[in-house]
Structure 1
Amino acid sequence: MSGLVLKLAAGERFVVNGATLENGDKPSTVRVVDDDARILRCRDALRPADVDTPTKRIYYAIQLIITGDLQEEEVLPAIIEECGRLEDVFETIDKKLIAVLRSMLGRGNFYSALCHLRNVIAIEAELLKHANSRQSAEPHARVA
């Protein structure tokens, strides 16, 4: 038997096809056998205030597709276009990083895309941290 397996903590909430569900009093495991189900664990959800980078904007848009707040047909082309911009940034780190994301999106595998994006967000955070530390270390030009 295949499918997505979710390990849920007691009382943990998750979204399936736009409906919010809550686990009972004990930890449990749920197997989702329908490939078309759209799943989001609420603990993995970004709040609008946390969306402050290009990668997080993509993550948030996919999250809104899963919850049913955005329509896939209307938003997916813009997400794919944004992935193209990210490809240039992440190409030197891993040429396949964004290509894998595009493939997942093309198949409608949004849960896997979010899981993949969490890794990309971590890489993005390191790049931004490195860029900020270099910027603060450079002397500022003086105007006489």
Structure 2
Amino acid sequence: MTLKVELKPGERIVIGRSVVTNGATRTALLIDGQDPVLRERDILQESEADTPAKRICYAVQMMYLAGSADAVLPIYTKLTRDALRAAPSMLEIVERMNNCVLTGALYKAFREARSLVAYEKSIFEHAARGERLRTDGANDGEPA
């Protein structure tokens, strides 16, 4: 199946082990093959992996780019186990992601990992809202 990717001027994309940088004009690429493909905007840098879900996402991204889960699987397993201890509500997403990893559907696992990052963000936002609640029992978010 052919993948069509449209690139903005100067946008980069990873195809297999190569980084392709677009020139000065908008370009459409038609890509055939099984090599991993990631747009620059979808790539999580190691330095940005500063939360449990982002570290999991980074590990899954490395699996996808390598084309195999073998080298990263022990780290991934530990990260998911630790994340589930801290936030058991992540279980549904982690189970879907695990199924993808175990069946070799690594791009789908990467998409699930990105869902996990979004879910974790919502947990953090909910916790931050909770800090603003009144101590007198009112929960309208207004200052006391």
Equivalent AA in structure 2 for residue 117 of structure 1: A
**For structure 2, which runs of at least 5 residues remain unmatched after alignment?**
136-144
Residue number in structure 2 paired with 1:105: 101
* Identical-residue share of aligned pairs (%): 25
1:55 Cα offset (Å)? 1.0
Residue number in structure 1 paired with 2:25: 26
Residue number in structure 1 paired with 2:47: 49
1:13 Cα offset (Å)? 0.7
Distance 2:17 2:94 in 1: 26
TM-score, normalization: structure 1?
0.69
**RMSD (Å), alpha carbons:** 2.8
Higher RCO structure, 1 or 2 (CA under 8 Å, sep 6+): 1
Q: Give the conservation status (yes or no) of the 8 Å contact 1:80–1:102.
A: no
TM-score, normalization: structure 2?
0.69
1:67 Cα offset (Å)? 4.9
Count residues with an aligned counterpart. Answer: 131
SS of 2:70's equivalent in the other structure is: helix
Q: Give the conservation status (yes or no) of the 8 Å contact 1:83–1:102.
A: no
Q: Give the conservation status (yes or no) of the 8 Å contact 1:18–1:66.
A: no
Q: What are the Cα deviations for residues 23-49 of structure 1, in whole angstroms up to 9, with x where unaligned? A: 2333233343323x1222122222333
**For structure 1, which runs of at least 5 residues remain unmatched after alignment?**
140-144
Relative to structure 1, the CA distance from residue 137 to residue 80 in structure 2 (aligned partners, 3 Å threshold; closer, same or farther) is same
Distance 1:4 1:98 in 2: 27
- For residues 1-144 of structure 1, the aligned pairs below 5 Å read 2-35=1-34, 37-67=35-65, 72-86=69-83, 88-91=88-91, 95=92, 97-135=93-131, 137=133
Distance 1:31 1:113 in 2: 23
Q: Give the conservation status (yes or no) of the 8 Å contact 1:86–1:98.
A: no
